[in-house]
């Protein structure tokens, strides 16, 4: 009985260490694409925003902004702190614009999220 309790505690610690290590081992990636609202990215299958004002209006109405990468991948901006916070204030100055964003990328269940370390506007090419 005592062995089972010790073994379960060791297993729990090992799982916690693995979870922490996998979260901190997220790769740093540079993403290039447009900032637009998530609803348009999914429901309208846009390759770029309709307009800057449209993206700003949707964001101000509460729609989360995302980065639609040049390859079509959608990145959900997230915070890496707890309690977490929305990322629209960080992205709103770039709504409707092309950006280059660098940060840690996390994947789960087919979704990709990015903790933005640096973001800047880029000129259209």
36 in any annotated domain: yes
26's tokens: 């997220």
Domain that holds residue 32: 27-121
Percent of the chain, pLDDT > 70?
79
Residue among 78, 31, 88 at smallest CA distance from 55: 88
Please say if the pLDDT value at position 121 is more than 90. yes
Could you tell me the pTM of the whole model? 0.78
89 in any annotated domain: yes
- Tens of pLDDT, residue by residue over 70-107, are 999 999 999 999 988 999 999 999 999 999 999 999 99
16 in any annotated domain: no
Domain count across the chain: 1
- CATH of residue 50's domain is 2.40.50
Q: What is the reported pLDDT for 46?
A: 87
* φ/ψ of residue 114, rounded to 5: -130, 130
Query: What is the pLDDT averaged over residues 110-125?
Result: 91
Q: What is the reported pLDDT for 25?
A: 84
């Amino acid at each position: 009985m005592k062995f089972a309790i010790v073994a379960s505690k060791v297993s729990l610690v090992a799982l916690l260490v693995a979870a922490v290590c996998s979260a901190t081992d997220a790769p740093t990636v540079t993403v290039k694409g447009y900032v637009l609202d998530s609803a348009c990215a999914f429901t309208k299958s846009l390759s770029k925003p309709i307009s800057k004002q449209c993206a700003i209006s949707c964001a101000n109405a509460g729609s989360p902004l995302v980065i639609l990468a040049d390859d079509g991948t959608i990145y959900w901006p997230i915070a890496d702190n707890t309690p977490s916070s929305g990322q629209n204030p960080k992205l709103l100055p770039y709504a409707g614009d092309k950006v280059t964003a660098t940060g840690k990328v996390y994947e789960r269940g087919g979704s990709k999220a990015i903790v933005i370390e640096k973001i800047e506007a880029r000129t259209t090419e």
